[in-house]
Amino acid sequence: MPVYEYKGVTTGNRATRGLVDADSPRGARLKLRAEGIFPTEIVPGRTGSAISDTLARFRLPQLRRVPDLDLSLFTRQLGTLIGAGVPLVDSLSALTEQVENDPLKKVVGRVRESVNQGMSLADAFGEHPYVFSDLYRSMVGAGESSGALEIVLQRLADYIESQMELRNKVTNAMIYPILMLVLSALVSGILLVKVIPTITGLLEDLNQPLPLATLVVISISEFLRRWWAVILISIAAALLLGNRLIHTERGRLVWDRLRLRTPVIGRVVRYVAISRFSRTLATLLAGGLRIVQALDIAKAVAANAVIERAVERARDAITKGANIATPLRQSGEFPAMVTHMIAVGEASGELDAMLGKVAATYDELVENSLNRLIALMGPVLLIVVAGVVVTIILSTLLPLMNLTAAL
């Protein structure tokens, strides 16, 4: 059944807008009036799939990504309605009216239309890959096959919220160092480009040999003022080239290996990757997916090519009859505690529960490591910023101080 977007006025003279499914615009108008809404505009609803296809064709990201919070709320509400015995199409219809995020509202309306035409829920979600990931669609498909769709949707909602919380922790931890670096660059740039040239003429009029530090600062200032355009273009070109190289298979592997081996930061990167992998694999296995299929999906969630290669080797070993713990241990990328807990989970038949414990443990390790990193970087960055500013200022004042001492 087609979906229409409408704008209208309620009986209380309040403006409203939303989606309604009907056979025709006239049917949509009659349906809205029966609900006490007087439509002022009715147009065919845009499905979003054509936009997604166009973006996918040019390999561009979707411009308006659905926030994880809205997706989690939709998933949990859908699971609750299905658990209460509400038919799937009716549940989607109710959520179409309740969802506040406009892109998600349109997608849900399109999913409802596809399901109403006989398509499975997982396949309907598959028409919108920029909203519903491979993990999401696979879990829903497994829930439909096993008859446990309500439980799977609740687990999916928990998973989305846990990943959102982990990502927020990492993002919040990076805000302070980035702000400090930007502040340092801004202050140094103002001093070198605006302040130093003003004082340079005065220093030259002294007709005295300038200290080495002063000469270095003056040279840097002149270089920045003369070549600032070339510097900006070079930085932009280097960033673009680096981005292209990182997105190649070889470049991504080298970059991710470098991140893992970076002192202090590499430990946090590894903890985050293991936490994501463990929680994703636990969620997939609890949802009824087979281990090989679950590993194919979970490896990408780790967002690290080195970890992905280790998981791929484990998957290949499993297809030949091996367990999962041994190849992960042999890769050297997973700590002994992780592989030991996985081995215990395999032996006890509770691999998903054990992976959940691994994820919870590493979530705590990530939080603790980030707190220690922030506590360490705060004073270090303050010292660096203060050192740069003081060095620039003293290099300009030093000749004047020498002249004063000579007098």
- The enclosing domain of 363 has a CATH number of 1.20.81.30
Beta bridge pairs of residue 43: 5
What is the per-residue pLDDT across 172-183, written as a single tens digit (0 to 9) for each?
A: 877 877 887 888
pLDDT at 278 exceeding the cut of 50: yes
Element (DSSP H or E) covering residue 395: helix 351-406
What is the per-residue pLDDT across 223-255, written as a single tens digit (0 to 9) for each?
A: 888 888 888 899 899 989 988 888 888 888 888
Mean pLDDT estimate for the chain: 80
Q: What percent of the chain has a predicted confidence (pLDDT) above 90?
A: 3
How high is the pLDDT of residue 49?
43
Question: Is residue 230 in a domain?
Answer: yes
Close Cβ partners of 401 (under 8 Å, ≥ 6 residues apart) = none
Question: Is residue 344 in a domain?
Answer: yes
Q: What percent of the chain has a predicted confidence (pLDDT) above 70?
A: 88
Q: Which of 45, 60, 77 is the last residue of a domain?
A: 45
pLDDT at 407 exceeding the cut of 60: no
Question: Is residue 284 in a domain?
Answer: yes
What is the per-residue pLDDT across 80-121, written as a single tens digit (0 to 9) for each?
A: 999 888 888 888 888 888 888 888 888 888 888 888 888 889
As for how many domains the chain has, the answer is: 2
Whole-angstrom CA distances from 288 to 87, 136, 142, 331 are 22, 13, 6, 27
Question: Is residue 383 in a domain?
Answer: yes
More confident residue, 354 or 378: 354
pLDDT at 9 exceeding the cut of 70: yes
Question: Is residue 74 in a domain?
Answer: no
CA atoms within 13 A on the CB side of 212: 0
Q: Which class for 23: exposed (0-12), middle (13-18), buried (19 or more C-beta within 10 A)?
A: exposed
Enter the pTM of the model: 0.65
More confident residue, 28 or 404: 28
Question: Is residue 320 in a domain?
Answer: yes
How high is the pLDDT of residue 12?
67
Strand ranges (DSSP E) for 230-379?
none
What is the per-residue pLDDT across 157-196, written as a single tens digit (0 to 9) for each?
A: 888 888 888 788 778 877 877 887 888 788 887 877 777 7
Whole-angstrom CA distances from 114 to 1, 44, 127 are 8, 16, 9
How high is the pLDDT of residue 382?
79
How high is the pLDDT of residue 237?
92
pLDDT at 51 exceeding the cut of 70: no
Tell me which residue of 72, 117, 95, 128 sits closest to 19, measured CA to CA.
Answer: 95
Q: Which of 29, 45, 61 is the last residue of a domain?
A: 45
Question: Is residue 407 in a domain?
Answer: yes
Tell me which residue of 129, 159, 164, 165 sits closest to 143, measured CA to CA.
Answer: 159
Looking at the structure, tell me whether residues 369 and 224 fall in a common domain: yes
| 365 close to 338: Cβ distance less than 8 angstroms | no
Using CA atoms, how far apart are residues 191 and 195, in angstroms rounded to an integer?
A: 5
Question: Residue 25: which domain range?
Answer: 1-45
Q: What is the DSSP string of 168-179?
A: HHHHHHHHHHHH
Helix (H, G, I), strand (E, B) or coil at 313: helix
How high is the pLDDT of residue 47?
45
Q: What one-character DSSP code corresponds to residue 30?
A: H
| 394 close to 213: Cβ distance less than 8 angstroms | yes
How high is the pLDDT of residue 233?
92
Amino acid at 191: L
Beta bridge pairs of residue 248: none
Helix (H, G, I), strand (E, B) or coil at 160: helix
- Model confidence at 1, pLDDT cuts 50, 70, 90, reads low
How high is the pLDDT of residue 208?
66
- Model confidence at 204, pLDDT cuts 50, 70, 90, reads low
Question: Is residue 406 in a domain?
Answer: yes
Angle formed by the axes of helices 291-301 and 134-146, nearest 10°: 150
pLDDT at 365 exceeding the cut of 70: yes
